[in-house]
Amino acid sequence: MAFILLGRMNPGAVAIALTAATICLMPAVPAYSKKKPAAGAPFREPLAEDQKTVQALNRLTFGPRPGDEQHVRAMGLKKWIDLQLHPEWIAENPVLGAKLEPLDSLNMSTARMLESYPSPALVKAMVDGQIPFPDDPEKRRMVQRLVERYERKANSGKTEEPTAARLPDLLTAGQLHTFRTGSAQQKLDVLNSLSPDRREQVLDVIPQPLRLQLLPLATPELRRLLQSNAGPQAMVAQDLVEAKLYRAVYSNRQLQEVLADFWFNHFNVFLDKGVDHYLVTSYERDVIHPHAFSKFEDLLRATAQSPAMLFYLDNWESAGPAAPAGRRQKRGLNENYGRELLELHTMGVDGGYTQKDVTEVARCFTGWTIRQPRRVAEFEFNPRMHDDGEKVVLGVRIPAGGGIQDGYKVLHLLAHHPSTAHYISRQLAVRFVADDPPESLVDRMAATFLHKDGDLRAVMKTMLSSPEFWSLGAFRSKVKSPLEMVASSLRALDADVDFGFGLGNQLTQLGQPLYRKAEPTGYSNSSQEWVNSAGLLARMNYSLALVNNKIPGVKVSADQSAAVTLGSPEFQRK
CB of 479 to another protein, least distance (A): 8
Spatial separation of the C-alpha atoms in residues 171 and 190, rounded to whole Å:
9
Using CB atoms within 10 Å of the CB of residue 32, give its burial: 0 to 12 exposed, 13 to 18 middle, 19+ buried.
Answer: exposed
| Backbone angles phi and psi of 380, in degrees to 5 | -150, 145
CB of 365 to another protein, least distance (A): 14
Q: Which is nearer to another protein, 390 or 529 (CB)?
A: 529
544 binds another protein (CB under 8 A): yes
Among 510, 514, 556, 558, binds another protein (CB under 8 A): 510
Single-letter code of the amino acid located at 30: P
Q: Which CA distances in Å does 565 have to 196, 383, 551, 555, 562? A: 47, 60, 18, 17, 5
CB of 166 to another protein, least distance (A): 26
CB of 406 to another protein, least distance (A): 18
Using CB atoms within 10 Å of the CB of residue 392, give its burial: 0 to 12 exposed, 13 to 18 middle, 19+ buried.
Answer: exposed
Single-letter code of the amino acid located at 75: M
Q: Which is nearer to another protein, 58 or 448 (CB)?
A: 58
The DSSP string of 322-376 is TSHHHHHTT-----HHHHHIIIIIIS-TTSS--HHHHHHHHHHTTTEEEESTTTT
* Helix H or strand E segment including 88: none
389 binds another protein (CB under 8 A): no
574 binds another protein (CB under 8 A): no
CB of 311 to another protein, least distance (A): 10
Single-letter code of the amino acid located at 336: N
Q: Which CA distances in Å does 165 have to 161, 186, 202? A: 11, 21, 11
CB of 86 to another protein, least distance (A): 35
Interface with another protein by CB under 8 A: which range of 50-58, 231-239, 310-318, 457-465?
310-318
Q: Which is nearer to another protein, 438 or 454 (CB)?
A: 438
183 binds another protein (CB under 8 A): no
Give the count of residues interacting with another protein (CB under 8 A): 57
CB of 355 to another protein, least distance (A): 7
CB of 548 to another protein, least distance (A): 8
CB of 490 to another protein, least distance (A): 19
Interface with another protein by CB under 8 A: which range of 183-191, 241-249, 313-321, 453-461?
313-321
Alpha helices in 67-136 (DSSP H): 68-75, 77-85, 94-100, 110-116, 120-127
Q: Which is nearer to another protein, 210 or 536 (CB)?
A: 536
Q: Which is nearer to another protein, 213 or 568 (CB)?
A: 568
Among 137, 157, 174, 569, binds another protein (CB under 8 A): 569
What track of x and - describes contact with another protein for positions 515 through 534 (by CB under 8 A)?
---xxxx-----xxxxxxxx
Residues of this chain, 141-160, that bind another protein according to CB under 8 A: none
Residues of this chain, 466-505, that bind another protein according to CB under 8 A: 479
| Backbone angles phi and psi of 437, in degrees to 5 | -70, 150
Sequence-ordered list of residues with C-beta below 8 angstroms from that of 232, at least 6 positions apart, any chain: 116, 117, 118, 142, 146
CB of 563 to another protein, least distance (A): 5
317 binds another protein (CB under 8 A): yes
CB of 332 to another protein, least distance (A): 2
Strand partners, 555: 496
Among 244, 386, 573, 574, binds another protein (CB under 8 A): 573
Q: Which is nearer to another protein, 32 or 395 (CB)?
A: 32
Q: Which is nearer to another protein, 33 or 172 (CB)?
A: 33
* Helix H or strand E segment including 386: none
Sign (positive/negative) of CA torsion 51, 56, 62, 68?
negative
Q: Which is nearer to another protein, 65 or 431 (CB)?
A: 431
Q: Which is nearer to another protein, 121 or 537 (CB)?
A: 537
Residues of this chain, 319-358, that bind another protein according to CB under 8 A: 319, 321, 326, 330-336, 339, 343-344, 349, 355, 358
CB of 207 to another protein, least distance (A): 22
Q: Which is nearer to another protein, 466 or 527 (CB)?
A: 527
Residues of this chain, 38-67, that bind another protein according to CB under 8 A: none
CB of 531 to another protein, least distance (A): 5
Spatial separation of the C-alpha atoms in residues 272 and 198, rounded to whole Å:
33
Sequence-ordered list of residues with C-beta below 8 angstroms from that of 187, at least 6 positions apart, any chain: 178, 179, 210, 213, 214
CB of 329 to another protein, least distance (A): 8
Contact status, residue 333 vs residue 318, Cβ threshold 8 Å: yes
Q: Which is nearer to another protein, 93 or 561 (CB)?
A: 561
Q: Print burial letters for 143-179: b (CB count within 10 Å at least 16), e (below 16).
A: bebbeebbeeeeeeeeeeebeeeebeebbeeebeebb
Spatial separation of the C-alpha atoms in residues 329 and 387, rounded to whole Å:
14
Residues of this chain, 355-374, that bind another protein according to CB under 8 A: 355, 358
Q: Which is nearer to another protein, 314 or 453 (CB)?
A: 314
* Helix H or strand E segment including 497: strand 496-497
Spatial separation of the C-alpha atoms in residues 432 and 430, rounded to whole Å:
6
Residues of this chain, 549-568, that bind another protein according to CB under 8 A: 560-561, 563-564, 567-568
* Helix H or strand E segment including 309: helix 307-312
Q: Using alpha carbons, select from 127, 131, 163 the residue that is nearest to residue 147.
A: 127
Binding site for another protein (CB under 8 A): 30, 32-34, 314, 317-319, 321, 326, 330-336, 339, 343-344, 349, 355, 358, 479, 509-511, 518-521, 527-538, 540-541, 544-545, 560-561, 563-564, 567-570, 572-573
